[in-house]
Amino acid sequence: MVCRWYGLCPLRRFEKQGKLSKKWENEYCKTESNWKNCKRYQMEEKNIYHPDNMTPDGKIDKRAVKDVFPISDEDTLKRRGKI
Ligand code: SF4
């Protein structure tokens, strides 16, 4: 069973754009149950904000930052120690 957010997850967009490795999809999203360990999934379930470019391990993929966030939002994330 794939993650129930598979079709809506913003990581699919980054994969299509070639900005993100398919390893996340293969190691989390499309697995039988490892999607439960995805930080994005866990935060979504708790209705906790998480940026589009946060990977399943809870880290921010810096390559996608400028394309996802205006500079002001990137600065905010830096101040919060997220990137
Ligand atoms: S990144 Fe996480 S929330 Fe998104 S589809 Fe994959 S397992 Fe689900």
Other beta carbons within 10 angstroms of residue 76's beta carbon come to 13
Find the 50 Cα to ligand 1 centroid distance in Å.
12
Q: Is the pLDDT of residue 15 over 70?
A: yes
Q: Is the pLDDT of residue 11 over 50?
A: yes
Q: Is the pLDDT of residue 71 over 90?
A: no
Asked if 35 and 2 touch (Cβ cutoff 8 Å), the reply is yes
Ligand 1 cavity residues, CB under 6 Å: 3, 5-6, 9, 11, 24, 28-29, 35, 38, 40-41, 44, 56
Residue in the structure block whose two tokens are 């940026």:
51
Does the model's pTM come out above 0.85? no
Residue 7, Cα to own-chain centre: how many angstroms? 13
More confident residue, 15 or 31: 31
pLDDT band at 76 (very low <50, low <70, confident <90, very high): low
Find the 9 Cα to ligand 1 centroid distance in Å.
6
